Amino acid sequence: MALLEFTDKGIYCPPAKVHIDPWRPVERALITHGHADHASWGHRAYLCTKSAKPVIRYRLGDINIESVEYGEPKTINGVKFSFHPAGHIIGSAQIRVEYKGEVWVASGDYKLEDDGISEAFEPIKCHTFITESTFGLPVYQWKPQESVIQEINDWWANNKATGKVSVLTAYSLGKAQRLLHSVNHEIGPIYTHGAIENTNRIIRKQGIKLPPTRKTTGNISPGAYQGALIIAPPTALNAAWIQKFKPLSIGVASGWMALRNIRRKRTADKGFVFSDHADWQGLNDAITATGADRVIVTHGYTKAFTKWLRQERGLDAIEAHTEFEGESLERKEDKEDNS
C-alpha cells in the first residue's frame, strides 16, 4: 500500500486516514494553501500553516480549522506530518509525510524564487515527491523577479506620463500581494479591486506589511485615477467596470504571458511573464534537491513532464491520474488565473 494515493476525493493517506487538498468533502483535510483548487469547502476538519489560516478561514467561513508552524511535527494515527514553505503564496506549504521510515512530500504549488513576501521555498529530502507541472515544458523560463518588476514599473511610469491609468490583472490571493509588495509605490497611488482589497485586509491583519492601497469605488469621476495603478482580478477585464477608467492601459501578470498566442488572445496592452509557479528549470531543480527517486506528477503538463523524468533523467516517475485534472474546461481557465 502506498503512503499517499490518488482517489476521487484527492490525495489520501490510508494509515493516517487524512486527505491532502481534497476537492470533495472528507473527514480531515490537510491544506497546502488557500487557492480555491486546493482549499475547498465542506470538510469536517482542516489543518494548515499559521500564516495560511486567516485567508482560508475568510474564504471558507466558519470551519473547524487548526494550524501549525512551519516544521512543527504533527502526528496523526501514527503518521508524522509537517508543513514546509513552498514559496507559492503567503502561508503556502509542501506537506511532508513520514511513516515507518518512509518519507513522501506533496508539494502543492510551489516556486523556487524568493519573492520577498511568501515564505521562501525549502527543499525537503524524501523518497517520493509529488510535484505539480503547471509550467512543465522547457519553453517556460522566468526572468528574475527584479527584472519583471522593473518592466512593470517602467510601464506604469510611462502610462502616468502619457495620462493613462494602469490596470494590472493578477489573482486576488497571492499574485496581487506579491505585486503590491514589489512595485515602486512612489510612482503613484495604488488602487485595488474590492476582491483584492478584502484579501489585503486579512493579510494586513496577520501582521504582513503591504503598501497603502485604496479600494476602487463605484462612482469614478473622470481624472480621479490619473497616474494610478489599479490591481484587479483577471475576471474584472470582461466587465464594463474597467471602461470607466479610460484612457487606460491594461497589463496582465501571468506565466502564460510567455506565449504569444495566449498574449494575443487576452485583450491586454501588455503581458508580463510573472508566475507564482516554478518554471521548467525550477521544477527540475526542486526535484533534484529532494533526492527522491520516485516522482508523481500532477497538475499541468503531466504526460510530457513524466516522460522527461523517466526517459531523460532516469527517475521512477509516474503521472497521477486524478479526477481533478480533467474536471472541466472552466477549471483550466481558473488555473490560468492563479498562475
Partner 1 sequence: MKLFVQLFHRLDQSTNVNQKREALVWYFSEASDIDRLWTIGLLSNKRPKRIATIALLKEWATEITNIPVWLFEESQHVVGDLVETITLLLPMPKKENEESLSFWINYIKNLENLEEEQKKEKIIAAWQCLQPTERLLFNKLLVGGFRIGISQKLMVEALAQYTGIKGNLIAHRLTGSWIPDNITFEKLILTESPLENSSSPYPFHLASALEGGIQDLGAVSEWSAERKWDGIRGQIIVRQDELFVWSRGEELLTDKLPEYHPLADLLPNGTVIDGAILPFKNGQPLNYNELHTRLGRKNITKKAMDKTPIIFMAYDLLEWQGEDIRLRPFRERRHLLQQMLSTYPTQGILVLSEDIPFDDWGQLVEERALSRKYRSQGLMLKRWNSSYSSGRQRGDWWKWKADALTINAVMIYAQRGNEGGTNLYSNFTMGVWDGDLLMPFTKVSGLTEKEASEISAWVSRNTRERFGPVRSVEPVHVFEIAFDGIRSSSRHKSGVVLRSPRIIRWCKDQSAREANTLNDLKAFLELY
Name the residues that contact partner 1, by CB under 8 A. 137-141, 143, 237-238, 240, 242-243, 250, 258-261, 263-271, 301, 304, 307-308, 311-312, 329-330
- List helix spans (H) across the chain: 53-60, 145-161, 175-182, 194-205, 260-265, 280-290, 302-307, 329-337
Q: How far is the CB of 237 from partner 1 (least distance, A)?
A: 6
> Which of 122, 336 has the CB closer to partner 1?
336
Q: How far is the CB of 261 from partner 1 (least distance, A)?
A: 5
Q: How far is the CB of 176 from partner 1 (least distance, A)?
A: 20
What count of residues does the chain have?
Answer: 339
Q: Alpha-carbon distance 314 to 237, whole Å?
A: 44
Q: Alpha-carbon distance 27 to 98, whole Å?
A: 20
Instruction: Name the residue among 303, 299, 286 with its Cα closest to residue 327.
Output: 299
Q: Are 339 and 254 in contact (CB under 8 A)?
A: yes
The residue type found at 91 is G
Q: How far is the CB of 51 from partner 1 (least distance, A)?
A: 31
> Which of 89, 236 has the CB closer to partner 1?
236
Helix (H, G, I), strand (E, B) or coil at 119: coil
Q: Alpha-carbon distance 310 to 288, whole Å?
A: 13
Q: How far is the CB of 222 from partner 1 (least distance, A)?
A: 18
Strands 316-319 and 248-253: unpaired
> Which of 83, 156 has the CB closer to partner 1?
156
Helix (H, G, I), strand (E, B) or coil at 147: helix
Q: Are 67 and 91 in contact (CB under 8 A)?
A: no
> Which of 100, 260 has the CB closer to partner 1?
260
Q: How far is the CB of 141 from partner 1 (least distance, A)?
A: 6
> Which of 29, 152 has the CB closer to partner 1?
152
> Which of 96, 299 has the CB closer to partner 1?
299
